[in-house]
Amino acid sequence: MKRRAFLKSMAAGGLAASVAGTAGMMLPKEAAGAKKIDIGEIKGVKIDVLTETSWFDNDQFKKDIMDYGGAMTNQYTIPWKWDNAGGYATLITVTTLDGQERKFMMDFGWNTEWMDYIYEEKSDVASLISKDEIEFWVLSHWHLDHFWGVESTLKRKQDITLYAPATYYPEDMALLKEKAHHKAKDKETGEMMHICKNDYPHTGKLVLCDEKGEKGEGIYRLMPGVAVKYYDVPILLRVRGENVLYFNVKDKGIVTVTGCCHPGVLSLFSYARKNFAGYKPYGCYGGLHISLFETWEPKFDDIIKGVKAFKIQKLGCNHCTGWIWAEKAAAAGIPVVKGTNKYKSYKKTSTVAKASNVFLTNGDTVVF
Amino acid sequence: MAEETYPHKFNYFFGFLNLAGVFVIVWFLWYVFMNPNTVMKLYTPMYGFALVVVFISGILAMSNVCRLPDIYGSQVKTVNPVVKGIVLTVVAFFLMIFINYILFWGFIGKFGVAYFSPDSIVISGGTGAEPYVARENASTAIVYFFAVFLWMVLFWDLGFGRWPWQANSLGVRVWSKMFVILFFVIFFYTILFHPHVCYLFYPAQDKAGVAPWWEEMAGTGSAFFSLGLILCTLVWIVFSSVLWEGRPWNKLEEKNEPNFSKGFVVFVTTLTLGIILLFVLLQIFTSIWGEPFVGGQYTDGPDWRYIHGAEVAGFFLLAAFIWKNYFNNFPNIKSVWGRCVIRSIIAMALGMLIYWFYFSPLATFFLAKVEGFAQPGDTPLVWTLLFLSIILIQSDFFDGWPLKRGKNKEIG
């Protein structure tokens, strides 16, 4: 709405009308015709949910944050309850246009014992790594539950190719490259508590992703039809920036795969609409970072409306999405992909899991 | 905001040094109480936000409603500004403790409106009702309540002044003004913020509050919409009282006393100008970050655009107070319009300089905030209001000491 129209509406209809007139700018609009990127196409993509339970007891996780200063506290200064730690990691299998299957992974989880259990007993990832069938890893962001379990992977293969956000802190790089053993002080006992370690330094290729991307295109092309885009957003616990995966599935459209989706799922689609040639919205998978603590805010209702407006056809979610958001979204008619009860066979389960199965949780699979 | 007299020409360099001193005090307070990596870690963020808003509200209630600095001056034969400042600051501190923990958490929240008390929220049970979230939600409600209080106190001073109790005793004026302001605070809080707070819970408390009525026109159900409107309105109220010497509204006074007409006109006009300012800011944000859309997050979210409008307004408010208190409202030229316009331009430029500071790596160094815009768990309003609190303490409680020598104002 132009200023003149705003002032005109104010003159005609008073204050309420003038504010109401601003509502027009809140609707999604097609982007102007900037030069668009062709990322190619794939035939399909399969997501295996290795583990999405980053922590098992939601209240304990919140308490750890609360006791040590809240949302902006440095994650390396909190003596997290180790037995509450799980992790987030995803196996991704791309079927190329010529029918070839190519695998890569997103994220490393948090608790190394949990990740060993996932890799060895609940999936064939340990075997895939040893057979060199996983081409590369993408680290979504430097949060503890996505990165601190890196030893589980590196002890099996140290020279992996890794795409990681360029916005790391010294503690992050020390854990990846310098055999760091990080500890945090328990404020009640004064004891220094183990929080994470890695005795197997990364020796492979490290691609630090930034907003410019490869060749200044804003993205990094991983294979035809697959790209990673770095978003420079500030995140909880002093972390900054997140890598997001984009897939262009032939005849279907754009699929996003995220670790936590801190930039916001609709912002990812908004970016694709503005920048990708032949954009069609199709689906998304991952943590969507909405009601991660199972709480509510009016803006979460906004997101349900927005997802409908963006015409997302298939929404697979878990992790930090929040069960209550997923339930409300499903009830509002959003095509939420339901999970199964496989997670109940795992040695630990989340305290917030519900029978509605609106999460794709541990052991589930979704195909786009 | 007491008027000062200057026994000597204003020393701008000393003013700058004083400002630097206040900055250091604010930094120290932030380091001790708010910095997420140091001692108290209160910036969670809403818990620390609530304490700061209550603190500055208490200061304004003491100065602008109860006239305590003036009463103190009238009761003590020789006023030592340092002693006076310390006494009143201690009172303000305990007032904050009383209001937040005893009045809201312990009384209103326990015996009336449950969402004002973390304990009551936890006891009510249900999804997400655990101590951390409960404290954040109760603090959110308190922030909103006192945001309206700030608006009403500053508006009333500019619009109505002593009206309609100018002929009454000080006691009548103080109590009457306090109760009327609280009446309007409750009224506007109920309309502008209560619906949001009722929808902070799952399931929503829809028998206690309607769904946010502004949702369709604002593109969000968040009460950041209301917060943006109030802060942008406050810009005009503060600019008028601090930079424009009460103009142009004082033309509506009769025998130097405000009246109903003046108050009504000030209310409607500043609110209208606030809406226009918010609209202009939203347009600027759109040119920088693109169109917001329903459900967008970070800089794409309409809710963030509104609170960012409030944050920019907060920087303007801070700049206005800084300019008045540490730079003697330069320039003090003869032309009324000339000096008002120039001061406003300077305050806006200074506000943008503060904006640049807050979103630069310097703030990462001084305040331990993560670089970038729209950080969840961060709003510059907390630091801005803490800064304003210290400025008000110095000007109203310490009579501007050590920069200025205050003179006891007539009790108005």
Q: What is the pLDDT along chain B (412 residues), one digit of tens a residue?
A: 444 444 457 899 999 999 999 999 999 999 999 998 888 999 989 999 999 999 999 999 999 999 999 999 888 888 899 999 999 999 999 999 999 999 999 999 999 999 999 999 999 998 878 888 999 999 999 999 999 999 999 999 999 999 999 999 999 999 999 999 999 999 999 999 999 999 999 889 999 999 999 999 999 999 999 999 999 999 999 999 999 999 999 999 998 899 999 999 999 999 999 999 999 999 999 999 999 999 998 999 999 999 999 999 999 999 999 999 999 999 999 999 999 999 999 999 999 999 999 999 999 889 988 888 888 788 999 999 999 999 999 999 999 999 876 554 445 5
Q: How many CA atoms lie within 13 A of B250 on its CB side?
A: 9
Q: Check whether the bond before A170 is cis (ω within 30° of 0).
A: no
Contact B298, B373 (CB under 8 A): yes
Q: Does domain A40-367 have CATH number 3.40.50.300?
A: no
**Residue A45, min C-alpha distance to chain B (Å):** 26
Please answer yes or no on whether B200 and A3 come within 8 Å at the CB atom: no
State the pairing for strand pair A206-209/A162-165.
Answer: parallel
Q: Residue A62 is nearest to which of B41, B133, B369, comparing CB atoms?
A: B133
The answer to whether B130 contacts chain A (CB < 8 Å) is yes
Residues paired with residue B196 on neighbouring β-strands, in sequence order? none
Task: List the beta strands (DSSP E) in chain A.
Answer: 44-51, 89-95, 101-106, 134-138, 162-165, 181-185, 192-197, 206-209, 220-223, 226-234, 240-249, 253-258, 281-287, 314-318, 365-367
Say if residues B244 and B337 touch (Cβ distance below 8 Å).
no
B:244-263 residues touching chain A, CB 8 A cutoff? none
| Cβ-nearest to B376 among A68, A236, A296 | A236
- Quote the minimal CA–CA distance from B212 to chain A in Å: 8
- B43 and A73 within 8 Å at the Cβ level: the answer is no
Q: Rg of chain B's alpha carbons, rounded to an integer?
A: 21
Nearest to B20, CA basis, from B312, B403, B406: B403
Note the pLDDT of residue B241.
96
Residues A368, A247 contacting (CB under 8 angstroms) = yes
ipTM: 0.85
Contact B67, B412 (CB under 8 A): yes
From B412's Cα to the closest Cα of chain A, the distance in A is 34
Q: Which of A264, A307, A324 sits opposite B300 (nearest CB)?
A: A264
CA A41 and chain centroid, separation: 22
Helices then strands, each counted (H, E), chain A: 10, 15
Residue B216 touches chain A, beta carbons under 8 Å: yes
Side chain identity at residue A33, one-letter code: G
Look at the alpha carbons of A30, A34, A40, A46 in this order and tell me if their dihedral is positive or negative.
negative
Please count the other Cβ atoms lying within 10 Å of the Cβ belonging to residue B255: 6
Determine phi and psi for A90, rounding to 5 degrees: -135, 135
Q: Is the peptide bond before B131 cis (omega within 30 degrees of 0)?
A: no
Nearest in space to B233 (alpha carbons), one of B165, B134, B154, B345: B154
**Three-state secondary structure call for residue B139:** helix
Q: Which residues of B touch A327 (CB under 8 A)?
A: none
Q: Is B212 on the interface with A (CB under 8 A)?
A: yes
Q: How far apart are CA A154 and CA A158, in angstroms?
A: 5
Do the strands A44-51 and A365-367 form a parallel or antiparallel pair, or are they unpaired?
A: antiparallel
Query: How crowded is the C-beta side of A283, counted as CA atoms within 13 Å?
Result: 23
